[in-house]
Amino acid sequence: MTNNFNFQDKTWREIEEAAGSNAVVILPVGSTEAHGPHLPLSTDVIISVEMARRAAQQLTERGITTLVLPPISYSVTDFSHDFPGTISIRRSTAVALVCDICLALIGQGFHTICLANSHLEPEHIAALNEAANRVERDTGCRPLVPDKRRGRWAYTLTEEFRRGACHAGCYETSLVLAAQPELVHDDIRRELPPLEINLAEKIKQGVDNFKEAGGEQAYFGDPAAGTPEEGEATYQALANMLVTSILEKLELNP
């Protein structure tokens, strides 16, 4: 049985004790947005929570008390704004939300905060980094914002991810299959043809929504190729990204 890492399941006394022991806090960050006709709107949240949970397990096994906060489920999601179900918030709102959460944690004595983010819209990631900058300016303590797009981490992920065709494709489908397979519409995803469009490159070219990029059904990549086994391997890489980033901040050997 795995440990219960959920911050919200603790009492205030348990949180006080954790803060006094220099516990690590992981904040999962996702979105509520369209992920093809086969994956739930909560796909990014599912992935962020699962990678955070697995990282917490690894850190705890190393003797480092770790707590996982309730996830942020709303973010800047303008690329899919014209798909029903997508809920986007303003960048200023996203920045303020992350700042306020981190400032509250630091005020209670938590100084190692790591964001586990699975939503890759550039404006959203910019908001997370802006929030980290503000928190550091105000407190001297900078929350970690590991970015899986960076070469150091990207090379550990799948080929589809590195090709940039990874929104609700094989990469994310595999991750949801490994974590919550009951939420995947398997009959639909097996009939979806591959859509080998490099979304990252389209964004660089100035495209600002999925449909303009060629994703008429809000997916890119190959959903039908997804497997739970690939998802398990990917979670291992994502958890390792978080664990390594945290250990480096703590000046411990990864």
DSSP per residue, 71-90: PB--B--GGGTTSTT-BB--
pLDDT number for residue 239: 98
Average pLDDT over residues 226-240: 98
Looking at the structure of the chain, the number of domains it has is: 1
What percentage of the chain exceeds 90 in pLDDT? 91
pLDDT recorded at residue 253: 73
The CATH number assigned to the domain holding 54 equals 3.40.50.10310
Which DSSP state fits 117?
E
Q: Is residue 201 part of a domain?
A: yes
Distance CA 86, CA 5 (A): 29
In a domain, 237, yes or no: yes
Region 215-240: what's the mean pLDDT? 97
Confidence of residue 10 (pLDDT cuts 50, 70, 90): very high
Residue 254 falls within a domain, yes or no? no
Q: Does the residue 194 lie in any domain?
A: yes
What mean pLDDT comes out for the span 88-114?
A: 97
Domain contains 1: no
pLDDT surpasses 50 at 1:
no
Instruction: Output the CA–CA distances (angstroms, integers) from residue 78 to 32, 144, 208, 209, 217, in the order listed.
Output: 11, 24, 8, 7, 15
Percentage of the chain exceeding pLDDT 70? 99
pLDDT at 237 over 50: yes
What is the token pair recorded at 58?
């690894």
With respect to residue 123, please indicate whether it lies within any of the assigned structural domains. yes
Q: If you search the block for the tokens 């690894």, which residue do you land on?
A: 58
pLDDT average, residue stretch 168-194: 97
**Residue labelled with tokens 């979806």:** 192
Range of the domain at 112: 7-249
How do residues 201-212 score in pLDDT, each as one tens digit? 898 898 989 999
3-class secondary-structure state, position 26:
strand
Tell me, yes or no, whether 2 lies in a domain: no
Domain contains 103: yes
Output the pLDDT for position 79: 93
Cα→Cα distances 169→35, 39, 161, 199, 220, Å: 9, 10, 9, 11, 5
CB 74 within 8 A of CB 87: yes
